[in-house]
Structure 1
Amino acid sequence: MPTDFARFDARGYPVLDVREGYARWVGTYEETVEDAMDLHVLAELRAPSWSGRAADLACGTGRTGAWLRAQGVAEVDGVDLTPEMLARAEQRGAHASLRLADIAETGLDSGSYDLVVSSLVDEHLADLRPLYREAFRLARPGGCFVTVGLHPFFIMAAGMPTHFTTAEGEHFAITTHVHLPSDHIAAGLGSGWQLAEFREEVVGDAWVALKPKWERLRGTPVSAAYVWRR
């Protein structure tokens, strides 16, 4: 079960739920999220085969879908809870289809995907198990589930929820939960997955160059990626 983020929160921003938060963030999302947080981590993974057909869960503005296509994935179907994010993904044009749905109940066809991917989503989930179960349902035998997100140690050390600043200068957080690696392991194994790869990235020179204030966090794990095989 997730650790209560409130005990670590160093910002105290007003908290929005996922749907409202991302609807309000959509205009500046692409300018805010650094590829080093997720896409660069995905690029370092060795277990996945970036090919075939993929389900992009919590596809957002289409960043991940575009990256997958660039790696050689032939077809990507996207699912997201926020209409405003899906509209941006549609403009980007990387997805074969886009669907407004909860990632725990996507409505996509069972056993249809070589690859299921979720990026920067697990911290918004109160319970990881529905995500892992849905990914397992979607994957073909031998298929992979790849999930990457903020490392729980970073969330705790930085006291930093997922957050954004509006054009008017208002700061908002989006509902954030802390899931330890053991929570992912339990959810994955309990859903029938086999762990194929686990990668952690720490704050180093590249991150400090992007965000000089993170010097105090140097050496702290910032991202975690899990590769599961059905």
Structure 2
Amino acid sequence: MAWWSGKKERAVLSPLEGYNRWAVSYGEESNPIKNASDQFIEKFMTDLQGKTFLDAGCGHGKFCVAAQQQGASFVQGIDLSPAMVSLAHQQCPSGEFLCDDLSTVKLRPKHFNMIVCGLVLGHIENLDPPLNNLLNALHPEGVLLITDFHPFLTLQHARRTFRDKPSGRVYEIRHHLHLFQSYFSCFTRHGMAIDILEEPHHENTPVVFGMRVRRMKRNDA
């Protein structure tokens, strides 16, 4: 199987069912998409000493552990998958974890100095509710890091797939095409701006995008 999976008939799972199945092996997964996303987040996930941190779509808790190691004063993770949340709590027992939907979860307003959201938003059909939630929860001087499946891949019929470890079967997890303009529009409404946009490539193909988002300065308006 290629490092990304093209259009092919296979069972399509909801994000909830897909990540519950994938949880058992997700931490061991290595592929160009996940690797590029992790590298972007790791590069800009800095200066957390005494800060509040949220991983929105925390998976098995890798970045919550990293935030604690950097001295974050409060670490929270949210994931739709109960199996992922259980693993994250095992990895980071002093963190606070919620099994919830990013579109509807109630977050403390203006609380988090840093929020990361890696390879998550493409699983949600309507970007506005989860982005509104995250931006409202971001401290006025805070930073939001977002990565996701590059829209070029989606337009080329690439699919998010994984191999179920117990059965060996390959499944597809449902995801949606979101163009950059959809992000820009929501950020602008909230007075936010993208100050870094990266598009890592693998084999001359853009695999993910990474955005660093901050509150817009007056002279940026």
Give the TM-score taking structure 2 as reference length.
Answer: 0.84
**CA distance, structure 1, for counterparts of residue 153 and residue 24 of structure 2:** 26
Give the CA deviation at 1:95.
5.5
Letter in 1 for 2:100: A
Give the CA deviation at 1:44.
3.5
Partner residue in 2 for 1:165: 163
Distance 1:172 1:155, change over 3 A: same
Alignment identity in percent? Answer: 24
**Of 2, 24, 27, which residue of structure 2 is paired with 1:27?**
24
* Structure 2 residue runs without a partner (length 5+): 216-221
Letter in 2 for 1:130: P
Counting only pairs closer than 5 Å after superposition, residues 110-129 of structure 1 correspond to structure 2 as 110-129=109-128
- Structure with more relative contact order (C-alpha pairs < 8 Å, separation 6 or more): 1
**CA distance, structure 1, for counterparts of residue 63 and residue 177 of structure 2:** 23
Deviations 1:121-173 (A, max 9, x none): 0210101111211111111111111111221112333x322111122121111
1:106 matched to 2:105? The reply is yes
Letter in 2 for 1:187: C
**CA distance, structure 2, for counterparts of residue 89 and residue 26 of structure 1:** 10
**CA distance, structure 2, for counterparts of residue 76 and residue 180 of structure 1:** 30
Partner residue in 2 for 1:67: 66
Partner residue in 2 for 1:213: none
2:107–2:133 Cα contact (<8 Å) kept: no
Partner residue in 2 for 1:175: 174
Give the TM-score taking structure 1 as reference length.
Answer: 0.81
**CA distance, structure 2, for counterparts of residue 150 and residue 17 of structure 1:** 17
**CA distance, structure 1, for counterparts of residue 38 and residue 70 of structure 2:** 11
1:152 matched to 2:137? The reply is no
Distance 1:124 1:100, change over 3 A: same
Letter in 2 for 1:139: L
**CA distance, structure 2, for counterparts of residue 49 and residue 91 of structure 1:** 25
Deviations 1:93-117 (A, max 9, x none): 1662001111122222111111111
Counting only pairs closer than 5 Å after superposition, residues 48-63 of structure 1 correspond to structure 2 as 49-51=47-49, 52-63=51-62
SS for the counterpart of 2:186 is: helix
Distance 1:124 1:95, change over 3 A: farther
Deviations 1:62-106 (A, max 9, x none): 122223334453431011111111000011016620011111222
1:11–1:160 Cα contact (<8 Å) kept: no
SS for the counterpart of 2:89 is: helix
**CA distance, structure 2, for counterparts of residue 154 and residue 69 of structure 1:** 34
* Structure 1 residue runs without a partner (length 5+): 1-7, 204-217
1:23–1:84 Cα contact (<8 Å) kept: yes
Distance 1:89 1:130, change over 3 A: same
Partner residue in 2 for 1:220: 205
SS for the counterpart of 2:28 is: helix
2:117–2:146 Cα contact (<8 Å) kept: yes
Distance 1:70 1:40, change over 3 A: farther
**Of 15, 20, 31, which residue of structure 2 is paired with 1:18?**
15
Letter in 2 for 1:225: G
SS for the counterpart of 1:142 is: strand
